[in-house]
Chains A and B, each alone.
Chain A
């Protein structure tokens, strides 16, 4: 659930907050990007999680990026062949990459791993499960 949906809109009744209301409505219209509630990611599907978390570094098409160092491309990445590898990296981090899986449930980690392993030119058909993730924490 996104924050704008979770917020009790009915409470924003003071006239001074009329503009706040319209801003909230505008937020609900903004496609794609979401904000979580609290200190865990709220996105559910692999696609949503990718677009709001992983994309921050690995970019919108999994192409990665290069500067003084690089973010590896996830597109056509043979390291994804074994599902346990991305599960481990998301849960525990790797070098500079933070352990973002600590802010996700087992289901969420499985969802985003399965999404990445079947998109961006990857076609690994053996899905990981929430149980696999729980075992790797």
Chain B
């Protein structure tokens, strides 16, 4: 009986945990030009303004305006969230080692919110400067550049032959943390981004580009 119970628990745990920890997609190692994974929109300091349709935990949906100023070279970024009426709900600046919150109103004033949001913005607008650790091809013919950070997280940039991009981040345990999808580029920049965060609290953003412009790196403060 005890053995049966153990097997049952093992089976249930496996069934529950496996889908969450399937890990990065399997690839066949192959030579992929890393430049293929480094889209032009990752290279230049820019200011992006997006309409964000947010699907938040609990099925709550809201539409806000997101402004992101990104300098990939210095790895600094500034992000602001405002209502359609113009009320700034959140405004912060982050470098690779610092975070300065200029304004945070409820519900964006939680202790961990700022760090989490800036991490997500960094994920959306920056790819690692270092060359990929591995490159390869998936079964469905997509090219993959696989990066790994010092924490053991894996970042896959997946480029499909038909101009579709998927960027996925996995923890060192193989749990999917974030994903980003886009398929059409206008002047080298995605006009629509589909972002999803899976942990600690799942949420999704449909990001529609309203405007983009180059900026001088010293404008980020």
Do A and B truly interact?
no
What is the interface of chain B, defined by CB distance below 8 A to chain A?
Answer: none
What is the interface of chain A, defined by CB distance below 8 A to chain B?
Answer: none
